[in-house]
Amino acid sequence: MQSPSFGGVGEEKPKKMIITFATQKGGAGKTTLAIAFANYVSGISERKIKVYDFDFQKSFYNKWQEDEESENPKIYNVESIGDDDQSPFKDLEEIINLKESEDVYLFDLAGTLDEKYSDILIYSDFIIIHFEYSDISVKSTLVFKNLLGLLESEAERIFIRSKYDKGFRYLNQKEMDEEISKYGMLVESPVYKRNCLQIINTRKLSYEQKNAVKKPFNEIIEYINKELKITL
């Protein structure tokens, strides 16, 4: 499958693109997916990508700093946002200015329901929510979905299955898929369990890593293209 275009010479570029990786529960591979997505988009897009790490653990930012010693070139910048009680941005105008840019802004939020992130969830263009079929993940995903409804966020919801075990029979999969599909786009191709994703860096995807995420990420990009009515 050919990778969808994410912006090219002579093509119109969208003026808004805030993509947020968020969930109610941390520790389930959100940042790994965010890094993989940033790397993947960087490989097919001519547009600049800027990452903001809002997570308390600063996993994205710390990994990006570690990779300063890599021989591979830097492909995007990552900014660490403070974890104090203040809103991440001084005012809404800062977020609106980001939406006026031609760059792609990728936010990695903390796995929490902290209200200080409300404006980000409201004004994001797309929110990518990863989940598993464990009872804890299912419940937290539905809680997070309800929060977005309460905030009246108009962001498009994209649900992606992560750490999917191809050989395991998930008894709640059909019911969960039907419920989630009511509230956003459910990516048809899951991200399977792959050991190679555990050693990901912020400079490039290995051949194995790219194959592990290519199908679901292409689906996401095609969906974004369709929703914006533009070729990214």
Q: How far apart are CA 172 and CA 168, in angstroms?
A: 12
Alpha carbon separation from 229 to 18, 158, 226 (Å, rounded): 16, 17, 5
Q: Which CATH architecture has domain 18-228?
A: 3-Layer(aba) Sandwich (3.40)
| Domain range summary for the chain, segments of one domain joined by + | 18-228
Low-confidence ranges of the chain (pLDDT < 70): 1-16, 25-28, 83-92, 112-113, 230-232
Give the 3-state secondary structure of residue 211: helix
Query: Could you report the per-residue pLDDT of 155-196, keeping only the tens digit for each?
Result: 899 999 998 998 899 888 998 899 889 989 999 999 999 999
Per the listing, tokens 């994001």 go with: 124
Listed in sequence order, the residues at least 6 apart from 154 whose beta carbon sits closer than 8 Å to its beta carbon are 122
Which is it for the CA torsion 183, 29, 213, 232, positive or negative? Answer: positive
pLDDT score of 201:
97
Q: Pick from 41, 29, 214, 211: which is nearest to 126 by CA?
A: 41
The alpha carbons of the chain give a radius of gyration, in whole angstroms, of 17
Q: How far apart are CA 32 and CA 13, in angstroms?
A: 27
CA 210 to chain centre: 16
Per the listing, tokens 């555990």 go with: 198
pLDDT score of 213:
97
Q: How far apart are CA 134 and CA 94, in angstroms?
A: 37
Which tokens hold the place of 87?
């809103």
- Residue 93 CB neighbours (<10 A): 9
Antiparallel, parallel or unpaired: β 18-21 and 156-161:
unpaired
Q: 85: exposed, middle or buried (C-beta count within 10 Å: 0-12, 13-18, 19+)?
A: exposed
User: What is the separation, in whole angstroms, between the first and last Cα of the chain?
Assistant: 17
